[in-house]
A and B are shown apart, each in its own frame.
Chain A
Amino acid sequence: MKAIIKYISSIFKALKSLFRGMAVTGHYISHPKEIITQQYPENRETLKMFDMFRGEVVLTHNERNEHRCTGCSACEVACPNGSIEIISKRIEMPDGKKKKVIDKFVYHLSMCTFCNLCILSCPTDAIKMSQDFEHAVFDRSQLTKVLNKTGSKLMEGVR
C-alpha cells in the first residue's frame, strides 16, 4: 500500500515540477517586452559602442591633416604579434637638418589581438582605439592598412 502511495505521489510531484518549468517559459511567451535580441544591421544608426571598446587601432589626425606619430617604434616593440610595422624615412627640414619621420604606419588588422599594449606604450598619444567593429572584408589584403593619411605630417611641437 505504501508503495502505491509513493508511486502516485511521485507522479504528482513530477507533474508539479514540470508545470513549474512551464510557468517560466509561459511567462516569457506572454511578455514580448522581455525580448532581448536586437535587429542588427537595421539598428546601425542607434547602435553605439562604449567609448572604451577596442575596435581597431587608428592614428588620429586633426583637421589640418597632422598626426602626432614621431615614428619612435615603441608600439612596434610593444606589440606581441607584429601587427604594427613602422616604415620611416628621412626628410630634409627647411633649416637643412635631416629628420626622421614616418613614411608608412602599417597596421595588420588580421594579426591584431586588441590587447591595447601599443596604445599604452605610445609616448605621444598618437594612436588610439576606434569603436568601429565591422571589420569583415572580402579580401584578406584589405586588412592590412596604412594608418597615416597621404600628405599628412607631424603636428607642430610633438617630439
Chain B
Amino acid sequence: MDQEQLKETVLSVAPETEFEETGGFLNVTIPSARLHDLALHLRESEDTLFDYLFCLTGMDWPEYMIVVYHLKSTTHGHSIVIKAKIENREKPEIDTVSDIWRTAEFHEREVFDLFGIVFRNHPDLRRIFLEDDWMGYPLRKDYVDEVNIIEL
C-alpha cells in the first residue's frame, strides 16, 4: 500500500487524524482514545497487516504526552508511525496494545517506568528497570534528582 491508501485506511477508522511526513515514515497523530481501535484495525486488516511493532517510544512534551508506535508489515513491507497523544499530562493513561503485539508488554512497562504513562488492561504493569519504590518518572522533562543527576 502506498502512503495515500494508508492515509485513507487510517482516516476510515480515526477521522480526527493529523498526518505528517518526517523521518522517512508516514506519521499519524491520533488522540489516545482511538489508539486501540486503530492498532487492531491495522494489525488485522488484510490490506495493511502491520504485524511487526519494532519500536515503542514514550515522549514528554510541555503540555501533553505522546506514545509513538513504529509499525511495519512483514508481508507488504510498508511502515507507519502512530503517535497517540495523551492530553492529560499529570495522569496519563492509554490502552495497551500488548494484546495485539506481544513485544509491547515489555516496551510498555519501560514507558510506564520512565514516563509514568499507565497502560490500561496491561497484564503485568510494574516498573521494569527501577526499584518499585522509586519516586517520580526519570525521563519526564520536569524530573529533578539532585543526587543522581550531575549537571556538567
Q: Which A residues are within 8 Å of any B CB, using their own CB?
A: 81-82
Say if the beta carbon of B152 comes within 8 Å of chain A.
Answer: yes
Task: State A82–B150 Cα separation when bound (angstroms).
Answer: 10
Residues facing A in B27-51 (CB within 8 A) are none
Kindly list chain A residues whose C-beta atoms are within 8 Å of the C-beta of B152. 81-82
Residues facing A in B131-152 (CB within 8 A) are 150, 152
Determine how close the nearest CB of chain B comes to the CB of A110; give it in whole angstroms.
14
Chain A residue at smallest Cβ distance from B151:
A82
Task: State A22–B54 Cα separation when bound (angstroms).
Answer: 44
Q: Which B residues are within 8 Å of any A CB, using their own CB?
A: 150, 152
Determine how close the nearest CB of chain B comes to the CB of A52; give it in whole angstroms.
27
Kindly list chain B residues whose C-beta atoms are within 8 Å of the C-beta of A82. 150, 152
Task: State A81–B152 Cα separation when bound (angstroms).
Answer: 7
Task: State A81–B151 Cα separation when bound (angstroms).
Answer: 10
Kindly list chain A residues whose C-beta atoms are within 8 Å of the C-beta of B150. 82
Determine how close the nearest CB of chain B comes to the CB of A126; give it in whole angstroms.
22
A-B pairs with beta carbons under 8 Å apart, 3 shown: A81-B152, A82-B150, A82-B152
Task: State A4–B152 Cα separation when bound (angstroms).
Answer: 75
Determine how close the nearest CB of chain A comes to the CB of B152; give it in whole angstroms.
5
Task: State A19–B152 Cα separation when bound (angstroms).
Answer: 61
Chain A residue at smallest Cβ distance from B150:
A82
Determine how close the nearest CB of chain B comes to the CB of A86; give it in whole angstroms.
14
Chain B residue at smallest Cβ distance from A82:
B152
Chain B residue at smallest Cβ distance from A79:
B152
Task: State A38–B152 Cα separation when bound (angstroms).
Answer: 41
- Per CB-CB distance, the 3 closest pairs between chain A and chain B, nearest first, are A82-B152, A81-B152, A82-B150
Task: State A82–B151 Cα separation when bound (angstroms).
Answer: 10
Task: State A81–B150 Cα separation when bound (angstroms).
Answer: 10
Determine how close the nearest CB of chain A comes to the CB of B123; give it in whole angstroms.
39
Task: State A82–B152 Cα separation when bound (angstroms).
Answer: 7
Kindly list chain B residues whose C-beta atoms are within 8 Å of the C-beta of A81. 152
Chain B residue at smallest Cβ distance from A80:
B152
Task: State A149–B150 Cα separation when bound (angstroms).
Answer: 30
Task: State A3–B152 Cα separation when bound (angstroms).
Answer: 74
Task: State A84–B62 Cα separation when bound (angstroms).
Answer: 34
Determine how close the nearest CB of chain B comes to the CB of A115; give it in whole angstroms.
14
Task: State A58–B150 Cα separation when bound (angstroms).
Answer: 26
Task: State A45–B13 Cα separation when bound (angstroms).
Answer: 73
Task: State A64–B150 Cα separation when bound (angstroms).
Answer: 39
Chain B residue at smallest Cβ distance from A77:
B152
